Structure 1
Amino acid sequence: QDSERPGLVLSGDDQDVLLMQKGTMMRKVRSKNWKKLRYFRLKEDGMTVWHARQNILKCHKCIIISISDVETVRNGHESEVLRSLAEEFPLEQGFTIVFHGRRSNLDLVANSVEEAQIWMKGLQLLVDFVTNMDQQERLDQYRWRGWDCVNNRGDKNQDGRMSFHEVQRLLRLMNVEMEQEHAFQLFQAADTSQSDTLEGQEFIEFYKALTKRVEVLELFGNFSADGQKLTLLEFVDFLQEEQKEGDHASDLALELIDRHEPSESGKLRHVLSMDGFLSYLYSKDGDIFNPSCLPIYQDMTQPLNHYYINSSHNTYLVGDQLCGQSSVEGYIRALKRGCRCVEVDVWDGPSGEPVVYHGHTLTSRILFKEVVATLAQYAFQTSDYPVILSLENHCSFEQQEIIAHHLTEILGDQLLSTTLDGQLPTQLPSPEELQKKILVKGKKLSTLEEDLEEEEELETELEGEQEPELEPQFESETQELSPRSKDKNEKKSKAILCPSLSALVIYTKTVSFYNFTHSREHYRFYELSSFSETKAKNLIKETGNEFVQHNAWQLSRVYPSGLRTDSSNYNPQEFWNAGCQMGPSVAMNVQTAGLEMDIYDGLFRQNGGCGYVLKPEFLRDTHSSFHPERPISPFKAQTLQIQVISGQQLPKVDKTKEGSIVDPLVRVEIFGVRPDTTRQETSYVENNGFNPYWGQTLCFHLLVPELAMLRFLVKDYNWTSRNDFIGQYTLPWTCMQQGYRHIHLLSKDGTSLHPASLFVHICMLE
């Protein structure tokens, strides 16, 4: 029966995978002092790695790693943890499994270099295979994984078959309470061998019967004349009437049939079967997130300050802000998830080398040059658009020179060290113009105008073969711009900004904020200010329109309160409403999961995940009349109707309790301007996380839909305590598709909960 099982077809070149299936002992490493022997084995499905304390693998005693959760595999040289063990083990024996989302990496040390290579190459082969699987293949793999679970948990007597009693136990494991009579009917229908047991393919048929979608069958029947297929015209009617696809529905229907109809004869006849219809609804084409918003679709030629910019705060931390670990892994994770502004707190270090850590705390320290080397390697792996290095400089004059040296030498051509054309600009350059460039944000001794004038004078002097007198000029400039250093001789070296570091600050010069009038009269477009979240909130309430106008010509940064010692985040929405752009603006602790990061990830999921999202037009106008606290949209207000129809294969909240089954409810939350921010929820469905049905409609009225974010939150109802989180999905209003759509749920750390989903109907009315 397993011959019908889908999976990786191994060839003679895939011996690594076969060897992984035999299993081996390896050292699991968390720190220099935490190293434990563990047994690792790739399961026969090629989709799952199990590891345990010994080579007896049972579901309830081992940790399961799904290949679909793995992003990549790195060699030992790239791991700080493994590098700390270089005296104990050759780095070639170590490797790191990197997961999607915010899940911690897994560092391993094999028994030999050859064994490490087997696992590295084998895992990467499997990751590439899973990445290229289509939706149906993923569903098939999930079904067979369920059968493996049956063999280890549902199949009590371990005979490879399931009796009806074992099926009932399995249903509870699968998060569903089903009437005994109905369950027995499904069991008998799947038992084609009439052995009163299920095995292999029979279980798969039983599973398919369990996942039969009555609500989709009914929808299909509403548009199909014969109930067997949708003709091309019937499918076009569905796309126009329900999915609101408009005039291009005819061409789209042909594309979708070709993409989703499983039978070749159906494709030739331009008809869509029930299986093809379900495949369409469950695919990216039927997703609530508009596929046209997935690639880079926005105008990328406008000034930097016209975009929201994906930014991070305390990027170097992978733990809390008081005693957590500082690591270059924080920068790798942030950059790979599209972050375009990273923060570096740099302090004097031993042996003349600056170090990065959260000052005046017990957080660990990393070398500044390692951070810069990490930027050079990872800055443009996810996006070609510019990265802003937010430099929090606490160093002496001497170590500032080392900072400038490392930036120049390590980054090379990636570092922006002068204006793009050597001329004085009249506005900030665009992301398009700054591709593959790293910008330093920090203090600057002079203005761009003075720098360019100085360069011209220097060129003139060089042409006249005169020696330029640069050092005295910098000295007088420093004395003039750092008056406090005259009065505090003992702190002189730290009060003076190093000229070579100052010269690397071009379009992102930091200045103090006094008020908006002062900024308009005294500051330039390439100068930016930082605001604490408390200060920014007060400014939005008191002078919200001025804040909007300010952000239409200059960058601004909002940073989390210093009281957030747990690295929690503020909700970025209210600052986006005022046009705040980046980190210099809405700076987030990306290591911390939760509502705030869900909203943040939701906004930057669009536009190719490139880290830049164009602000609405009324937030890019220096004469805008928009006030985020008293909003009147220049466009029309809209009404949103969301029918929450059903859920599919929701995960259990407490997997340790065999008999526990979730009672799911759905909460729809809207975040936007204050009058639009609201939430509504469905009733809960008792004892069914497998295929719950709600069929409830929620209605929302929005004044400024252009700024709205929607969050679909699924919770397990519990009357004795706060409802437990099951899954969520967040997206911008502007990227939402109308009609019958699936919402593919994500976990707390932003990774896929496949195949868990919601089925909804979306309708927007003016």
Structure 2
Amino acid sequence: MSRALLLARAAELPCWLLPSNGSLGTLQVSHVLLHGYTAQREIRQLYDRYSTADDGMDFVDWVAFNEAEQGGGDPSALREAFVRACASDSNQLCYMRFAMLLLSLENRAVPPGVYTADLSRPLAHYWVATSHNSYIVGDQLTGRSTREAYQRQLLQGCRHVEIDCWDRRRLPSYAKAPVVTHGHTFCTTDTFVVVVSAIAESAFVTSDLPVILSLEMHCGKKGQRQIAEMLVAAFGDRLLSYSQLEAMIGAMPSSGISVEALRGRVLCKGKDKDMVEEVKRRRKEEPGDIVQRSGRSIDSLDSNADGDAPTRAGEKMDPQFLRHVAIRTVPAKDFLGDKSGEYGFALPISSIGEELLEEAAGVAAPSTTNAGDYGESARLCDREYRATQGIHAMQRKTAAHLVRAFPLGPRFSGMNMDPLRCWRTGAQHVALNLCNTVPDLPAQLHYALFEDTGGYVLKPEAMVNGQGWPPRRESLRRVTIDLLSLHGLPLRGEERPRIEGAHGASHAYASELSGCWRPPRAVEASSPRVHVSLHTIGGFCSVGTELPPSPRVKTEHMTSAAEGGLSACFGETVHLLAAEPHETILRVAVLDGEASTEVAFETAVLGRLRQGYRTLQLRSRRGTRIEMCHLLVRISLGEEPHRWQSASELRKGNADLRSENEELRGEVGELRKRLRPCAAAP
């Protein structure tokens, strides 16, 4: 490797700036100097503070730095990182290698590695990484249906994918074979056999936790039989049949089958139309009471609200296909009406549209009300209290029953619903469009929640034990972030996608979604601004620049660079408070100061951040990490007392005030009665 390239990498010099002869010109040297003396000034001060030797930082200095600033660490891991960073002929870190180590992926704010949750809990106790119309790349009306979309999503950690199965018409009967497409649109098609082969190839590469195939069946009995044969051929013993699932559940505790027991297995989800018709027939013969909810008859809900293909009168399912449908759908109206038991399914699931789910649960946005704004709180607390009761009721339902939430049909652009509200109800499978050209905010939050988890995240204990989540917290987690410097932000028009790392293999599929290396339109630096925001599934959260924070709660903050140029310094401190840090997602976005357009971002679960001088490797608008682009921050952790009131507390406070007011009125009335004789006396 040429000296120019080594120097460029050390100073994060974009490779497109290097001439073919490997020499450095004026522009390159100025870029190196900007990085060396502007953005890395904070790093230089750290190096000078902890390096005791004149010729570099030895291992003792490195350990002292980690214990004082980084919260310590495993000695063997520290030794390994130190040796790897040192030059081959030296046992000390020079300044440039110390800077490279501080800005490396090993020093990310969220430590790399898989977060291992307790997998012995029932399947209904987990949020699962789920995609909607998983075969489409692009929009939902004219997008491309391709096997590559499945491979990309599975390699990025998705565990529940959807397959829309259709008969291929306009062909001779002997040539007909099931296809995968978005029906009644202009989307292209792909064959089912190729799709399941691609899924089998990629299903257990990044995670061995169970994969669920949601089969939306539009095929006739012949097509169903062909699909069953293709599933068996593609997955073999990994495919879990309905009878096998029944036997496993029979041998498990009454709480339900665990994720651990299903490790490495493929489960098909589908609709047993024969059973649906049988239940309808039994109800006509033995009519029961109609369950009412919110003044609306559950039986009056749309019969196709479960998102599966409509049941065609007189048509029956192919028995061979049904044998391989392990997870069977209960219509949404029967789940909401507590009639799921009538179907007798071993592992039932209900698909519910976003509007119906929010209506049934009475979902409200998480509260940011506080005692300092009592008038507004008094007007909102009763409504929010009622919504909270509805959410807790839905959480109790989803503690034992699987729910898949899907977006409304008119979202042809691929714009996603808000997953936070759905996760808050306890819905395990919140289906999002994950192959849009530019991932929207819901998709970004999805990737943050399931990053390095294997696709399964354990729900909070209070959400599954019937107590209701989130509970009242006496203290809040405080995460203080000092925004220090921004390194290697792409110039305008430049793209530097990092197609290596944990999900590197996924970029080979539907590669247009990852982007490609390209030089900028002009070599000029922007004046970046940083936008910090919190997005919570539930519980209190706030963003501020001072402690204690202002009574007027905010969940976002914007700051501009104190020094601009190719590398920018900020020097501002932001305090993040959250009652539920492991269910709260931090989003940091970098905006072009002049154009006010977002050019990079990163998302992370707040509770996973570690203290010390850390780096956030930023992503492009496509969601792909940017090569050599880091935001250097200093993170400190702590606790703060919870000074804000929840909706239930405000409601109780209002009731207490009303009670005191009535008592005062009674006392005033008694006093008036006593004073009347005195007033009537001459």
Q: Same fold (TM over 0.5)?
A: yes
Q: Does 1:347 align with 2:186?
A: no
Q: Does 1:557 align with 2:378?
A: no
1:696 to partner: Cα distance: 0.2
Task: Specify the SS of the correspondent of 1:310.
Answer: strand
Taking structure 1 as reference, are residues 284 and 297 closer, same or farther at Cα in structure 2, changes over 3 Å only?
farther
Q: Does 1:480 align with 2:307?
A: no
1:562 to partner: Cα distance: 1.4
Q: Which amino acid aligns with 1:695?
A: G
CA RMSD of aligned residues (A): 3.4
Please, which moves more after superposition, 433-442 or 366-375? 366-375
Q: Does 1:528 align with 2:349?
A: yes
Taking structure 1 as reference, are residues 138 and 332 closer, same or farther at Cα in structure 2, changes over 3 Å only?
farther
Q: Does 1:590 align with 2:432?
A: no
1:604 to partner: Cα distance: 1.8
Deviation per residue, 1:657-698 (Å, 9 max, x gap): 526431101111111126427543343238834220110001
1:647 to partner: Cα distance: 0.6
Taking structure 1 as reference, are residues 682 and 219 closer, same or farther at Cα in structure 2, changes over 3 Å only?
farther
Task: Specify the SS of the correspondent of 1:637.
Answer: strand
1:399 to partner: Cα distance: 2.6
Instruction: Give the structure 2 partner of residue 641 of structure 1.
Output: 480
Deviation per residue, 1:237-256 (Å, 9 max, x gap): 432332223xx565554344
Deviation per residue, 1:78-124 (Å, 9 max, x gap): xxxxxxxxxxxxxxxxxxxxxxxxxxxxxxxxxxxxxxxxxxxxxxx
Q: Is the 8 A contact 1:710 1:730 kept in 2?
A: yes
Taking structure 1 as reference, are residues 375 and 138 closer, same or farther at Cα in structure 2, changes over 3 Å only?
farther
State the alpha-carbon separation in 1 of the partners of residues 95 and 584 from structure 2: 35
Q: Does 1:283 align with 2:104?
A: yes
Q: Which amino acid aligns with 1:676?
A: C
Q: Is the 8 A contact 1:224 1:234 kept in 2?
A: yes
Instruction: Give the structure 2 partner of residue 752 of structure 1.
Output: 625
Higher relative contact order (CA 8 A, sep 6+): 2
Q: Does 1:497 align with 2:324?
A: no
The aligned runs of 1:74-85 (5 Å cut-off) are: none
Instruction: Give the structure 2 partner of residue 396 of structure 1.
Output: 220
State the alpha-carbon separation in 2 of the partners of residues 5 and 659 from structure 1: 19
Q: Which amino acid aligns with 1:758?
A: L
1:411 to partner: Cα distance: 3.0
State the alpha-carbon separation in 2 of the partners of residues 566 and 615 from structure 1: 31
Please, which moves more after superposition, 551-560 or 653-662? 653-662
Taking structure 1 as reference, are residues 241 and 535 closer, same or farther at Cα in structure 2, changes over 3 Å only?
farther
The aligned runs of 1:141-152 (5 Å cut-off) are: 143=13, 145-149=15-19
Q: Is the 8 A contact 1:728 1:746 kept in 2?
A: yes
The aligned runs of 1:242-261 (5 Å cut-off) are: 242-245=69-72, 248=73, 253-261=78-86
Q: Is the 8 A contact 1:444 1:503 kept in 2?
A: no
Q: Does 1:671 align with 2:535?
A: yes
Q: Provide TM-score, normalisation by structure 1.
A: 0.64
State the alpha-carbon separation in 1 of the partners of residues 280 and 335 from structure 2: 22
Q: Which amino acid aligns with 1:403?
A: I
1:225 to partner: Cα distance: 4.7
State the alpha-carbon separation in 1 of the partners of residues 315 and 245 from structure 2: 30
Which ranges in structure 1 are unaligned for 5 or more consecutive residues?
7-135, 153-159, 172-185, 188-202, 447-476
Q: Is the 8 A contact 2:491 2:522 kept in 1?
A: no
- Which of 272, 291, 298 lines up with 1:444 in the alignment? 272
Please, which moves more after superposition, 329-338 or 560-569? 329-338
State the alpha-carbon separation in 2 of the partners of residues 382 and 740 from structure 1: 29
State the alpha-carbon separation in 2 of the partners of residues 657 and 479 from structure 1: 62
Q: Which amino acid aligns with 2:217?
A: N
Q: Is the 8 A contact 1:260 1:276 kept in 2?
A: yes
Q: Is the 8 A contact 1:428 1:525 kept in 2?
A: no
Q: Does 1:613 align with 2:440?
A: no
Instruction: Give the structure 2 partner of residue 632 of structure 1.
Output: 472
Q: Does 1:690 align with 2:566?
A: yes
Q: How many pairs align?
A: 538
State the alpha-carbon separation in 2 of the partners of residues 494 and 290 from structure 1: 56
Taking structure 1 as reference, are residues 618 and 221 closer, same or farther at Cα in structure 2, changes over 3 Å only?
farther
- Which of 542, 564, 569 lines up with 2:416 in the alignment? 569
Q: Which amino acid aligns with 2:262?
A: L
State the alpha-carbon separation in 2 of the partners of residues 332 and 557 from structure 1: 21
Taking structure 1 as reference, are residues 643 and 545 closer, same or farther at Cα in structure 2, changes over 3 Å only?
same
Instruction: Give the structure 1 partner of residue 603 of structure 2.
Output: 730
State the alpha-carbon separation in 2 of the partners of residues 429 and 528 from structure 1: 14
Instruction: Give the structure 1 partner of residue 153 of structure 2.
Output: 334
Task: Specify the SS of the correspondent of 1:535.
Answer: helix
Q: Does 1:297 align with 2:116?
A: yes
State the alpha-carbon separation in 1 of the partners of residues 635 and 14 from structure 2: 33
Q: Which amino acid aligns with 1:213?
A: Q
Q: Is the 8 A contact 1:326 1:365 kept in 2?
A: yes
State the alpha-carbon separation in 1 of the partners of residues 35 and 266 from structure 2: 52
Q: Is the 8 A contact 2:39 2:568 kept in 1?
A: no
Taking structure 1 as reference, are residues 572 and 479 closer, same or farther at Cα in structure 2, changes over 3 Å only?
closer
State the alpha-carbon separation in 1 of the partners of residues 3 and 53 from structure 2: 32
Q: Does 1:213 align with 2:11?
A: no
Q: Is the 8 A contact 1:575 1:586 kept in 2?
A: no
Q: Which amino acid aligns with 2:218?
A: H
State the alpha-carbon separation in 1 of the partners of residues 217 and 615 from structure 2: 47
1:612 to partner: Cα distance: 1.9
Q: Which amino acid aligns with 2:9?
A: L
1:368 to partner: Cα distance: 2.2
Task: Specify the SS of the correspondent of 1:683.
Answer: strand
1:532 to partner: Cα distance: 1.3
Taking structure 1 as reference, are residues 249 and 349 closer, same or farther at Cα in structure 2, changes over 3 Å only?
closer
State the alpha-carbon separation in 1 of the partners of residues 102 and 41 from structure 2: 14
Q: Is the 8 A contact 1:309 1:612 kept in 2?
A: yes
Task: Specify the SS of the correspondent of 1:536.
Answer: helix
Task: Specify the SS of the correspondent of 2:262.
Answer: coil
Q: Which amino acid aligns with 2:445?
A: I
State the alpha-carbon separation in 2 of the partners of residues 341 and 402 from structure 1: 22
Instruction: Give the structure 1 partner of residue 141 of structure 2.
Output: 322
Q: Which amino acid aligns with 1:644?
A: L
Please, which moves more after superposition, 650-659 or 700-709? 650-659
Task: Specify the SS of the correspondent of 2:480.
Answer: strand
1:236 to partner: Cα distance: 3.6
Deviation per residue, 1:395-452 (Å, 9 max, x gap): 2233323322332344322211132583525344333322332111012368xxxxxx
Deviation per residue, 1:606-659 (Å, 9 max, x gap): 23xx2222233333x3323225xxx525x8421221110111121123456526
Which ranges in structure 2 are unaligned for 5 or more consecutive residues?
285-310, 365-386, 495-519, 543-553, 640-682
Deviation per residue, 1:495-540 (Å, 9 max, x gap): 4233222222224544334465615765767111112122223313
- Which of 578, 581, 586 lines up with 1:710 in the alignment? 586
Taking structure 1 as reference, are residues 589 and 612 closer, same or farther at Cα in structure 2, changes over 3 Å only?
same
